[in-house]
Amino acid sequence: MFVAGGAWLATKALTAKDALEEAQGLVGTVKDQAGSLDFNGIGQTAERLSVLTDTAVQQTADPVWRAAEYIPVAGANLKAVRQLAESVDSLATDTIAPLAAVASGLSVEALKPVDGKVNLEPIVQLSNAIGPASAAFRQARADVASIEFDGTVSQVSAAGDKLNGMLTTAEPLIDQVEAVLTVAPGMLGADGPRRYVLIFENLAETTALGGTAAALSEVTLDNGAISITRQASSQDFPWRVDNPVIPIDPAVSAVFNGNMYLMLNLATSRPDFPTAAQITSAFWEQDIGGVPDGVISIDPVALSHILGATGPVSLSTGDQLSADNAVALLLNEIYFRYQGEDGPDQTDAFFEEAAKTLFGALTSSSADPKALVESLMKGVKEHRIMAWSAHPEEQAVLATSPVAGVLPTTNEENSTTGVFFRDMSVSKMDFYLKTAATLTTDVCTAATPTFTTTVDLHSDLTEELADELPAYVASGVWKGEKFKTQVFIYGPPGTTLLENSVIGGGDDETFVDAPQSDLGRPVSTFWVMLKPGETKSVTATFTGAAGEYGSPALWPTPMLNPTTTTVNAAGCQAK
């Protein structure tokens, strides 16, 4: 009788073990499917997961199993297996299944705008489901963490460690998804119209965040309907002279001067998008009218990524704007076409039509939705698409997302050095600027690390072309003879500037400026003057106190010609 009972328990334990092992694998599959927007796959996986976890619970739920949990040695294993089964079943039933029930009826196609409108219903449904689902997840996570694995066999403890690790890794993702879905309906106009100012950055005139705020559009979202309601250019925002649009921050002004508070196009001077957004929002409110609900920024390189998904668009000028020609046409060729006194007005009109046409392609495109999402995510990853909300609860979500445009405030994940540029020639000469940045650090081997960053700037302009440049492209001061760029090297948080220099020596036009601090980081500033074909280099070294440092990283301005970056870090594991 005892032998028969033992065999019966062993059979049930083996069945539960097999079901749990497969279920654990499917929990990871759901995560991967969510990341790839495979909504149909999520539904199918959730169904199989429910069957498996139900099987595991049924095997461990009867009184004989519970009584056997008091048997020395074997009982600890049986109890742990039962608790694992119950936790995974709760996860499947109360977290994955409710979300899958909504998600399985979705597709990427269903989320794509049609005739300028996004169907908000599935987003609202997911928003309603995520709260209870995430609460159930956290409870399951706590339940698994509380299971006692001391005294269990290696197979059981390994299964517990694996599940605990999976849930620990997934928890930040669940938190982020919950935060996003909680605010998404309102941001998309489900509760009333939302108005956002969209900045098109001109990368031919570099600023730390990318380029000057050259053209702006007011985008209105009303219950999913998306439209451009007003447009403006930097010419519509008069220079405020001694009347800053918001109070000047003396510390920020010490690094960038106060002009970013006086001229709308310089709002993007600081490598901090919330600063740029608040300045832009104030300019819009005071000079155009209405209080924006948020500010979004995009540049022509990001637009070229989108055009790669939508295909070319046609303009009334006869131009076709495509992934291949968008950057050159919008940031250089157009200035050769429209010259003279009316040039600025003509280029503004061209930019306005291009913005409307591209917006129409994005909101009514027959493009593959997955390719469209990938193109947008590429722009976000390159810091070419950024967003800020005037609503604190929404900004709290955006601030921790990739669209925040905010430098890391700690060295926990990465020890990030920033390399930023700003045109100081009042020109569109950065079409011809090539840059490179090299970070050399002993952060992975030294107790008190150093971070040395060398930045190279090269003018790709020839003397022959310099003589032919339109006045709007060439510097108003130096014509095409030369152009000036500021370089800002931001050390990692908590470090101290040790030394800096112009490699090969400087002069009255290329020199090291006074050290400053910004965003909790030391800042080394340089002024660099380049003639056609010339290359100059600057370098700065920062030192850090003993402590914990993440992997070294470089964060450069998203340039028209992307900065070539190199990190030399002996002893660091490649990611």
Residue 159: pLDDT band (50, 70, 90) is: confident
Q: For the segment 421-472, what is each residue's pLDDT rounded down to a tens digit?
A: 999 998 999 999 999 999 999 999 999 999 999 999 999 999 999 999 998 8
Distance CA 89, CA 52 (A): 8
**CB neighbours of residue 266 within 10 Å:** 22
Residue 293: pLDDT band (50, 70, 90) is: very high
Nearest to 24 by CA among 178, 174, 181, 169: 169
Among 56-70, 392-406, 431-445, 510-524, whose mean pLDDT is lowest? 56-70
Q: What is the pLDDT of residue 344?
A: 87
Q: For the segment 472-503, what is each residue's pLDDT rounded down to a tens digit?
A: 899 878 888 999 999 999 999 999 999 999 99
DSSP track, 445-496: T-SS-EEEEEEEEEE---HHHHTT--TTTSBTTTBTS-EEEEEEEEPPTT-E
Q: Can you name the CATH fold of 194-389?
A: Aminopeptidase (3.40.630)
Q: What is the pLDDT of residue 537?
A: 98
DSSP track, 309-354: HH--EE-TTS-EE-TTTHHHIIIIIHHHHS-STTHHHHHHHHHHHH
The first and second tokens of residue 162, run together, are: 């694996």
Q: What is the pLDDT of residue 52?
A: 75
**Region for 197 from its dihedrals, namely left if φ exceeds 0, alpha if ψ lies in -120 to 50, beta otherwise:** beta
Distance CA 260, CA 286 (A): 16
Q: What is the pLDDT of residue 364?
A: 74
pTM of the model: 0.87
- Domains of the chain by residue range: 2-187, 194-389, 408-569
Distance CA 383, CA 203 (A): 13
